[in-house]
Amino acid sequence: MGHPAGARCPDINLSSGRSRLHQQAQLIEYMESANQTGMVHFHFRPFSKLLEVQMLIFVAFLIMYLVSISGNVSISLIIWINHSLHTPMYFFLANLAVLEIFYSSTIAPLTLASVLSMERALISLPGCGTQMFFFIFLGSTDCILLAVMAYDRFVAICHPLHYTLMMSWHLCVQLALGSLVLGFILAMQLTVLIFQLPFCSSKEISLFYCDILPVMRLACADTWVHEVTLFVVSVTVLTIPFLLITLSYVFIVAAILKIRSAEGRHKAFSTCSSHLTVVLLQYGCGSLIYLCPSSSYSPERGQVVSVVYTFITPVLNPLIYSMRNRELKDALKRTMIRFLLS
């Protein structure tokens, strides 16, 4: 005789429970062995669980990214086309604009794809390492280049008669290449050091991109050496250049105050104010994240500050330089008129 239907239910439930436990055990074994096989994957924390909020953030980020790209491309092209802007100051500004284009493109496309997908957008260990490398490389070069630009303004205002001699094109190219090389070396060392850490399983990054501190927090080993290295790199990239910029502006302000002409003082201040505004934005945001003790790191604060220096600052930089610089505005008008007439 067959068993009643009710008598078979416990057996079915027991076997399905064992099956689920077996699947979970297999999943845990796979995730534990993933680090050895290079199959570790991370996923980014979503801004919100609501589809409407995610769509709103996607549209806002997309607009900022497009404005940033178009603004920085415009500045680069205007400086390249107009021979009157072929001076050291605009050479460095064009370099900064090109850096901003690549810097934005390192973060924005993957972030937009992640925000648009309500499911977990996975990124592999090599992919995360690549994004982190370019983020550190371009961000570090950006900060160093801002210090170079401050030196250029110092020479132009404090030593105007020797400016052409002191800021030769050979030196300008060397300073630009030196910024790139130093940024590359710092980024390579820090990225290789961090991704030698063991990551035990696929985990959630508390930001919308592979930043240093959130990724280090996912490691299954002591990160004291890595935190010290990060602090040394941060001091090299943020503190030392900022001190040099501050020192340059002390001499610049002293020199400007000696100018008798009100128009001359206004022109000198307007030339420097745009650069100083960008410096405060860049260094202020970076210091809030990388110069504070890692124990005090807050993912919520990191999220807000990261949005500022990965999306908002690249949008503001071309606007600040174009609005505060009369020569650049005049060149933009001439280029637009020439384009419309042709």
Question: Where is pLDDT greater, at 23 or 258?
Answer: 258
pLDDT(83) > 80: yes
Query: What's the average model confidence in pLDDT over 98-126?
Result: 89
Query: What's the average model confidence in pLDDT over 162-179?
Result: 95
Q: In degrees rounded to 5, what are phi and psi of residue 72?
A: -70, -35
Q: Which segment of 164-168, 183-187, 280-284, 295-299 scores lowest on mean pLDDT?
A: 295-299
**Residue 241 DSSP symbol:** H
pLDDT reported for residue 321: 78
**Any idea of the CA torsion for 233, 238, 243, 244, to the nearest 10 degrees?**
90
Helix extents (H) in 117-197: 125-158, 163-166, 169-194
What is the C-alpha to C-alpha distance for residues 290 and 227, in angstroms, rounded to an integer?
Answer: 10
In Å, how far are 18, 131, 140, 213, 310 from 105, measured between CA atoms?
48, 10, 16, 21, 10
What amino acid is encoded at 23 in this protein? Answer: Q
pLDDT(167) > 70: yes
**Residue 122 DSSP symbol:** E
Structure tokens given for 103: 């810097």
Query: What's the average model confidence in pLDDT over 100-115?
Result: 93
pLDDT reported for residue 323: 67
pTM tops 0.85: no
Number of H helices, E strands in the chain: 13, 3
**Any idea of the CA torsion for 83, 87, 93, 99, to the nearest 10 degrees?**
80
Q: Which segment of 26-35, 136-145, 231-240, 257-266 scores lowest on mean pLDDT?
A: 26-35
Is CATH 3.20.20.220 correct for 40-340?
A: no
Sign of CA dihedral 32, 38, 39, 45: positive
pLDDT(23) > 80: no
Grade residue 202 by pLDDT with cuts at 50, 70 and 90.
Answer: low
Q: Which segment of 3-12, 71-80, 251-260 scores lowest on mean pLDDT?
A: 3-12
pLDDT reported for residue 26: 44
pLDDT(56) > 80: yes
**Any idea of the CA torsion for 24, 26, 27, 33, to the nearest 10 degrees?**
150
In the chain, where do the E strands start and end? 41-44, 122-124, 203-205
